Amino acid sequence: MSSDASTRAYAITRVYRDHQDSLDDELVIEEPMELRIDFELAGHRAQRSLAITMRTPGDDPHLARGFLLTEGIISKEADLLDLQRCSDGGDEASPNIWRATLAPGCNFDPGRLQRHFYSTSSCGVCGKASLDALHHQGVMPVTAGPVINADLLFELPDRLRAAQATFDRTGGLHACALFSPGGQLLDLAEDVGRHNALDKLLGRALRQGLLPLSEHILLLSGRASFELIQKSLVAGIPIVAAVGAPSSLALDLSQTYAQTLVGFLRDQRLNLYTHPQRLRCPDERQR
């Protein structure tokens, strides 16, 4: 059985009704990552611990970039002067501690942060002060985006699933993916935390200079939470489709920011919740 930095094989016993087998089972690794920030304050350099998240190792630099982007700390790659592992007081750098150094002149005000960043693999970044957070980041409603046939969306979950190599071995990862208006899979990311997977995906897009993602479709392998919709809006994504259900707050956010939100995308059906103008749907007789 093959494994990589994101998985680990364990010897287990599988018990059936009439017998048992000994075999290896591959599980997704979940480890904490601390993100520290080095920034300019009153003409001097200052440092602080910004976030701790439980994540699947393997794409930490893009996870850090995506987190900084979607939390409004940076808006472009040039805002990030350096990103590297750092130590926890010892001589060697820790694989689970990263320091982001902001460029001089980067507009970061630590007093603006109304909460401590603490995120977990189950709930994402918790404790949003209010929906006004996006307004403070300067996020604007989605004003454009592609118009696609609704039945194209029916094909996307299978295309995502076929590309999830690690999920095939473990069954324990969330995934998100970017598609073109024609349904081409452009990029995907997996992680034990759904918010981490999206940060990895958007961190890569930031580094590649692709933002805003105004001609893309985002597919989520699970539910659509407020946190994921917030992150997608920072990246300017006009269409978000989820295999699972949206939360009420996610729906309100998509409605407010003119984003098309689709849920329960499975079994050749979908629920269209907000801004239907981007989907060409069958007429009532064909539904």
Rounded-to-integer distance, Cα 214 and Cα 257, Å? 13
Rounded-to-integer distance, Cα 33 and Cα 130, Å? 26
DSSP the chain: ----TTEEEEEEEEE-SS-EEEEEEEEE--EEEEEEEEEEETTEEEEEEEEEEEE-SS-HHHHHHHHHHHTTS-SSGGGEEEEEE--SSSSSPPTTEEEEEEPTT----GGG--S---EETTTEE-----THHHHHTT---------EEHHHHTTHHHHHHHT-HHHHHHS--EEEEEE-TT--EEEEEEESSHHHHHHHHHHHHHHTT--S-TT-EEEESS-B-HHHHHHHHHTT-SEEEESSPBPHHHHHHHHHTT-EEEEEEETTEEEEEE-GGGEEPPPTTT-
Structure-token match 């985002």, residue found: 218
Known binding residue 85? Answer is: no
Q: Choosing from 86, 123, 176, 281, which is the catalytic residue? A: 123
Specify whether 176 is catalytic.
Answer: no
Known binding residue 204? Answer is: no
Known binding residue 268? Answer is: yes
Name 274's bridge partners: 261
Which amino acid is it at 104?
Answer: P
- What are the catalytic residues? 123
Binding-site residue set: 264-269
